[in-house]
Amino acid sequence: MTFDYLIVGQGIAGTVLTFKLMQENKSVCVIDNHHHLSSSKIAAGIVNPITGRKYVKSWMIDDLIPESRETYFALEKLLDIKVIHDANIIRTIPNREAQLNWERIELDDSATKYIVDKPSLGNYNSILKPLFDFGELTKSFRVDMKNLLASFRDYLEKDKRLILEKFDYNKLIFDESLIEYKGIKANNIIFSEGFHATQNPFFNYLPFQPAKGEAIIFTLDNFHADKILRHKQFMVPFGNGEFWSGGGYEWKQLDDTTTIKFKDNWLTQMSDMINSKPTIIEHKAAVRPAVKGRRPLIGNHPRIKNVYIFNGMGTKGASLVPYWAKHLVSHLLRGENISDEVSISRFLSYYE
């Protein structure tokens, strides 16, 4: 059998792209080495319409949210699992300068649909130390990427469409119309290996800026909450009284080892923030596939016709992947142009 597509990497990028190609009745085979600490597996999966210290609308968020919801909802139905967890986000406002930025976004007509008129701390009221001020965002949600990836992996395995191994680039043979990898034939190959693309001889010329982050899963005595809190540290309800917290940017030591520095800093900030002592259940680290210019990397290899990349989702894979996977599928199946903002052709001069 010759597959229509061979996809390397089953993080959130490879998973959603595979699903969208299957929805178009394309045959897909996936190769993934299932690193237990990929970026997708440790991420909170938050889709947040207004981000950053200056409270600005996320790039293209008005288009990203509907496509994300539709895609993850279809995956929920296919796999019979819960992927989307709606949750408002409480944004704390630390000082007068930040308050002016918040007032500016409140006055932006295109952002008002994401802002709650009468914000409320809910249960956080009982644990938070005094705040300068706070606001509340709506239409935000969390994507359970870990659960989604595990269920989709089972789905692919049952269908014999998953090969569990580290892809060996030296074993790829290609000609004008066909690619072959260890006896598997396909018309096209799409690479979605997250930050490991820096090892990919076809695309390692692209300006990846991988950024390691760390995540902590914890509980607080007798405390539950429905909303996400974005204060000095995140508190993201993960169910069963557990919370996710994390972030951090390390550009040099690009591995999945956790650091005492991160944990100590986290504990200090948590004690500045709340009156309760967290119990840490898990501490994990992974590397995000971030890119210079902070836009995805999508497109065809400059010289080899049937070799593609779908990567560069940086800090926002949960919201970016569904929209841009749809975009790539429209290109592959219907010849529509890839947007200049995300096309790898913007880095052609790096290749030549």
Report the amino acid identity of residue 75. L
Site for ligand FAD in 272-311 (CB under 6 A): 286, 288-289, 311
Is the Cβ–Cβ distance between 324 and 342 less than 8 Å?
A: yes
Residue among 127, 111, 106 at smallest CA distance from 231: 127
Site for ligand FAD in 167-186 (CB under 6 A): 167
The residue written with tokens 């550009």 in the block is: 251
CB 309 to ligand FAD: min, Å? 10
Q: Does 194 bind ligand FAD (CB under 6 A)?
A: yes
Residue 331 CA to residue 300 CA, distance in Å, equals 10
Region of 44 please: left (phi>0), alpha (psi -120 to 50) or beta.
alpha
Region of 194 please: left (phi>0), alpha (psi -120 to 50) or beta.
left
Beta strands 184-191 and 242-250: pairing type?
Answer: unpaired
Q: Does 38 bind ligand FAD (CB under 6 A)?
A: yes
Q: Does 46 bind ligand FAD (CB under 6 A)?
A: yes
Q: Which of 49, 119, 210, 317 binds ligand FAD (CB under 6 A)?
A: 317
CB 11 to ligand FAD: min, Å? 2
Site for ligand FAD in 234-273 (CB under 6 A): 246-247
CB 110 to ligand FAD: min, Å? 21
Residue 270 CA to residue 234 CA, distance in Å, equals 9
CB 46 to ligand FAD: min, Å? 4
Nearer to ligand FAD, 99 or 150 (CB): 150
Q: Which residues bind ligand FAD (CB under 6 A)?
A: 8-14, 31-35, 38-40, 42-46, 166-167, 192-194, 196, 213-215, 246-247, 286, 288-289, 311, 313-319
